[in-house]
Amino acid sequence: MNKVIYLDNAATTKVYPEVVEAMNPYFTQIYGNPSSIYSFAGEATKAVAKARETLADLIHANPEEVYFTGGGSESDNWALKATAEAYANKGKHIITTKIEHHAILHTCDYLEKRGYEVTYLDVDEYGTIKLDELEKAIRPDTILISVMTANNEIGTIQPIAEIGQIAKAHGVLFHTDAVQAFGHIEIDVDKMNIDMLSASGHKINGPKGIGLMYIRKGVKIRSFIHGGAQERSRRAGTHNVPGIVGFAKAAELAKASLGDRIAYETELRDYLIDRVLKEIPYSRLNGARESRLPNNANFCFQYIEGESLLILLDQKGICGSSGSACTSGSLDPSHVLLAIGLPHEIAHGSLRLTLSEETTKEEIDFTVDELKKIVERLRSMSPLYEDFLKKGGK
Amino acid sequence: MYSEKVMVHFNNPRNVGEIENASGVGTVGNAKCGDIMRMYLDINEEGIIRDVKFKTFGCGAAVATSSMATELVKGKTVQEALQVTNKAVCEALDGLPPVKVHCSLLAEEAIHAALWDYAEKNHIVIEGLEKPVNDISEKEDDVSETY
């Protein structure tokens, strides 16, 4: 059991060898600080500028609107806290959703404790927000709408262009956490009227510890990390040059493969979903069937619990994740699964499998075959399943 | 994250199943929190636990503590079974991660709930046994009685 079947690409991805290769010289040879004057550092400065262009290109932005950060969570924190501070004179109301990543939700919680008001939009059973509810939630003192591009757990893609249009029509800033979507689906900050966008390197086969924030020209948010004058004085700290170069290389590869990758992953994902729903009784798909990240599948298996499922899958070399309480470190299962209306006991039995372009059909077949046996085994020892059978299977 | 012992019991749980016409059955836990244990006891006339089976819905620790708890009470008298505390279950498993200690508590409660059911069925009082608070089937009974 040495072979690993890695189906947790929403958690993080493998760094591609080409990315490592691109990064390597910036550790040992071109190690100068891009902020330095001497010509030795000039190559590093150039590399950062070129990387900024590549990354901006992926979302159709201008390079000077892209700011490097330490990752997706920092970008999310920056967008929310700095907007709250900069626009406090206009108002203290923020609109977001119930299914955001904790980097958004916990930051909102932090702001609420400091006098800001936050509206958390509901989602429908597929995890999509309702545009009329968004529009109704906007008030004269609303300063920001923050809605994720695609959900990290259930993969549902939000109607970002429509949200951007509503935000623009009402003169409210629009931020989107695109950590799961960046490099995985088409994003155009102009067409979608996005004012701020968070993205991360390690979700697209780049390195960890590097992210970016797109900030549209004219958005008046200030520095979140104070210190040096890097990033047009908006984000202090010596540039993570190898990280930036690696992030850009990953984005370049992601752009080149985007169309083929979406087609390949979507087909394989649908094959996985179809097999599971057909062959494993009392299972359901969480999230939207169509408007969904190409690599995301999320299931619930009734009468069993997610952590047990993960441990048994792990023993077969299969890496997945779950929204059960045991994996979240609290007594409550995933807030996303509860928000789409699942009862607690069903939400505890969830499994997320996220593919990559390197995932093979053989791996999916092996996974489903093992999954069938594991679900059956856990059900055979589940008192909930026993009750269900005694009630005549209804 | 788990000790080797926990993994042994999770992978190969002892005494999984049901006992028909059991002397006592106890179900504890709450599907909301993600853990439910059901314990079946077969107790002979001398008050010795001849057989014990369990079913559990829950995480790795919940399964392992159920399994270990059945091992610890099997062949014991009712009074001895009462002495099987969550601490004893924990220690027998070489410890549990702090967030999982409540699972061992559930195992203790499951034994108590099954013993309580046995005592009620036989109209006896087991000294030192308090009515378990976390008995789901009992709660359901309470609800049905109000109708």
Per-position b or e across B36-69, b if 16+ CB within 10 A of its CB: bbbbbbbbeeebebebbbbbbbbbbbbbbbbbbb
Rama region for A32: left / alpha / beta (φ>0; ψ in -120 to 50; rest): beta
Q: B141: pLDDT confidence band, cut at 50, 70 and 90?
A: very low
d(CA A112, CA A95): 12
B123: pLDDT strictly greater than 80: yes
Say which residues have a Cβ less than 8 Å from residue B34's Cβ, sequence separation at least 6: A305, A324, A325, A326, A331, A333, A344, A345, A348, B57, B58, B59
Identify which of A105, A81, A66, A82 has the alpha carbon closest to the alpha carbon of residue A211.
A66
The 10s digit of each residue's pLDDT in A55-73 is: 999 999 999 999 999 999 9
The 10s digit of each residue's pLDDT in A142-197 is: 999 999 999 999 999 999 999 999 999 999 999 999 999 999 999 999 999 999 99
Residue identified by tokens 């013993």 is B115
Amino acid letter, A108: C
Specify the higher pLDDT residue, A140 or B33.
A140
| CA A5 and chain centroid, separation | 21
Identify which of A172, A162, A170 has the alpha carbon closest to the alpha carbon of residue A196.
A172
Confirm if A216 and A56 have CB atoms less than 8 A apart: no
Query: Of all helices (H) and strands (E), which one includes residue B143?
Result: helix B136-145
Identify which of B16, B21, B15 has the alpha carbon closest to the alpha carbon of residue B118.
B21
Q: State whether the Cα torsion A14-A19-A24-A30 is positive or negative.
A: negative
3-class DSSP state of B42: strand
**How would you classify the pairing of strands A318-319 and A283-285?**
unpaired
Helices (H), chain A: 17-23, 25-28, 42-58, 72-86, 102-112, 131-137, 160-169, 230-233, 241-279, 306-314, 325-328, 335-339, 344-347, 361-380, 383-390
Instruction: Give the chain B residue nearest A343 (alpha carbons).
Output: B32
The 10s digit of each residue's pLDDT in A226-246 is: 999 999 999 999 999 999 999
Asked if the Cβ–Cβ distance from A311 to B10 is below 8 Å, we say yes
Catalytic residue among B61, B78, B92, B103: B103
User: Is A121 in CB contact (< 8 Å) with chain B?
Assistant: no
- Quickly count: other Cβ atoms within 10 Å of residue A238's Cβ: 11
Average pLDDT score over chain A = 96
* Virtual torsion, Cα B135, B141, B142, B145, nearest 10 deg: -170
Instruction: Give the chain B residue nearest A307 (alpha carbons).
Output: B59
Amino acid letter, A146: S
Question: Which residues pair with residue B41 across a beta bridge?
Answer: B24, B52
d(CA A353, CA A367): 10
Lowest mean pLDDT among A377-381, A390-394, B46-50: A390-394
The 10s digit of each residue's pLDDT in B84-112 is: 999 999 999 999 998 888 888 899 999 99
Tokens of residue A102, six digits: 């904790």
Asked if the Cβ–Cβ distance from B58 to A386 is below 8 Å, we say no
User: Is A345 in CB contact (< 8 Å) with chain B?
Assistant: yes
The burial class, CB within 10 Å (0-12 / 13-18 / 19+), for A89 is exposed
Lowest mean pLDDT among A47-51, B14-18, B102-106: B102-106
Dihedrals φ, ψ of B28, to 5°? -130, 165
Tokens of residue B8, six digits: 């042994």
User: Is A382 in CB contact (< 8 Å) with chain B?
Assistant: yes
Told to judge if A319 belongs to the known catalytic residues of this protein, a careful annotator would answer no
The pLDDT value recorded for residue A57 is 97
Q: A30: pLDDT confidence band, cut at 50, 70 and 90?
A: very high
Confirm if A152 and A180 have CB atoms less than 8 A apart: yes
The pLDDT value recorded for residue A375 is 98
Dihedrals φ, ψ of A185, to 5°? -140, 165
Contacts 24+ apart (CB under 8 A), A105-111: A105/A335, A107/A76, A107/A77, A107/A80, A107/A81, A108/A80, A110/A81, A111/A80, A111/A81, A111/A84
The pLDDT value recorded for residue B140 is 44
Rama region for A317: left / alpha / beta (φ>0; ψ in -120 to 50; rest): left
Q: Of A331, A380, A381, which has the smallest distance from its Cβ to B33's Cβ?
A: A331
Asked if the Cβ–Cβ distance from B55 to A305 is below 8 Å, we say no
d(CA B139, CA B144): 9
The pLDDT value recorded for residue B139 is 45
- A91: number of CA atoms within 13 Å, CB side? 16
Instruction: Give the chain B residue nearest A342 (alpha carbons).
Output: B32
**What is the mean pLDDT of the segment spanning A11-30?**
98
**Chain B environment of A326 (Cβ under 8 Å):** 34, 58-61, 100
Q: Of A305, A311, A325, which has the smallest distance from its Cβ to B57's Cβ?
A: A305
Instruction: Give the chain B residue nearest A326 (alpha carbons).
Output: B59
Asked if the Cβ–Cβ distance from A307 to B16 is below 8 Å, we say no
Specify the higher pLDDT residue, A349 or B141.
A349
| CA A258 and chain centroid, separation | 17
Query: A344 to chain B, minimum CA–CA distance in Å?
Result: 5
Amino acid letter, A362: E
3-class DSSP state of B95: coil
d(CA A80, CA A114): 13
Question: Which residues pair with residue A173 across a beta bridge?
Answer: A144
Confirm if B9 and B64 have CB atoms less than 8 A apart: yes
A309: pLDDT strictly greater than 50: yes
- A316: number of CA atoms within 13 Å, CB side? 19
User: Is B1 in CB contact (< 8 Å) with chain A?
Assistant: no
